[in-house]
Amino acid sequence: MIMELISIIIPVYNVEKYLKQCVESLTEQTYRNLEIILIDDGSTDLSGAICDELGKNDKRIKVIHKKNEGMSVARNVGLDVCRGQYIGFVDSDDFIDKDMFQFLYNNIQKYNADISVCRAWRVINNLKIHSDFSNNIFVVPSEEAIEKVFTDKFELAVWNKLYRKDIFNDVRFLPEIMIAEDAAILVDILKNAQIIVFQDTCKYNYRIRNNNISKKVNFNEHIFDFIDAYEYNLQQINKFYPRLQELGECLLWNSYEYVILRVYNYSNNTVFINRISELQKIIRKNIKKILSNRKISIRGKAMFLVLCANIDLYVCIYKKRHKIV
């Protein structure tokens, strides 16, 4: 059987501690016909040099050095140069099981799918955190896939999936969105697919570290990109899948909660504190719509009512509920 080429796009930025493990998990894949594209996004540590060294050891590795412009632009560079019939993404501080791309490719072939999806382990201090998975397989059309991605456990990310290349013919990451850039374009990606296969099996290893690009508490204006991502998502849902409007709105209001909590807990910046007060005002203005949304739980609606009344009380209840000190 002919092994079609899979291009794997890896943005790299200041991950010298983790990069070798990431790339070796790719070069050791049981699926051998790979194009591994490392995009050094202006790293200031040894990551760029490590990319070059790894490239010398495996002819499947292509290294691109560029100025720092963020993960979205780096991924777009990879999309512009990749040659494979299929495309995958891996974050440079993560790693994957040796059979992940064989696993995803097999499901695409077996079910004649356009996108294949697996689950991810959480890795903390090199320990895999147990994830409740069933190995069940779901084969669904795009609209149902959007519901499954946003409501189940299949990750609002691009990295646990394998895509037919033509899915990205008219799709690129949004350069202006630096946080939740994956979630921002998931509707754009999924609408280009006819069939998506999900298998509830963990093959990706998502490392949680203090200064992870998507997890770090770096309070510049990009923390508010999270809301921009879901506003764009809602716009695309309303355009292509109006039946899912309530789901899109639920996700948007959840993004308001997320940003308010992050800024409140970790930032003393007066400008940002004032901005979350503005977010609170927007929630108050839309509280009737929030309370009538069937995708928001009763408990969730109660928390929005508390948030409308008093941010301090809302955060206190949230921390108690989630046992956060």
- Over residues 1-18, the pLDDT tens digits come to 678 999 999 999 999 999
230-272: pLDDT as tens digits: 999 999 999 999 999 999 999 999 999 999 998 888 777 787 8
271-290: pLDDT as tens digits: 788 889 999 999 999 999 99
Alpha-carbon dihedral sign for residues 60, 2, 142, 154: negative
Using the CB atoms, write b or e for 229-257: b if 16+ within 10 Å. Answer: bbebbbebbeeebeebeebbbbbbbbbbb
- pLDDT range class, residue 213, cuts 50, 70, 90: very low
CA distance 18 to 93: 5
- Say if residue 148's pLDDT is above 50: yes
Q: What is the pLDDT of residue 215?
A: 47
Q: What is the pLDDT of residue 314?
A: 94
* Among the ranges given (37-41, 66-70, 111-115, 144-148), the one the predictor scored with the smallest mean pLDDT: 144-148
Q: What is the pLDDT of residue 212?
A: 45
pTM of the model: 0.91
Q: What is the pLDDT of residue 93?
A: 95
115-135: pLDDT as tens digits: 999 999 999 988 888 767 889
**Cα first-last separation, the chain:** 56
- pLDDT range class, residue 42, cuts 50, 70, 90: very high
Residue tagged 């849902």 (tokens): 237
Spatial CA neighbour of 188 closest among 246, 243, 229: 229
Query: Which amino acid belongs to residue 199?
Result: Q
Query: Which amino acid belongs to residue 27?
Result: T
Alpha-carbon dihedral sign for residues 105, 117, 76, 239: positive
Q: Write down all domains in the chain, each with its CATH number in brackets.
A: 6-207 (3.90.550.10), 221-321 (no CATH)
- Say if residue 325's pLDDT is above 90: no
Spatial CA neighbour of 155 closest among 115, 192, 193: 115
CA distance 304 to 47: 43
219-230: pLDDT as tens digits: 567 889 999 999
- pLDDT range class, residue 171, cuts 50, 70, 90: very high
Q: What is the pLDDT of residue 162?
A: 98
Distance of CA 157 to the CA centre of its chain: 2
Residues 6+ apart with CB under 8 A from 310: none
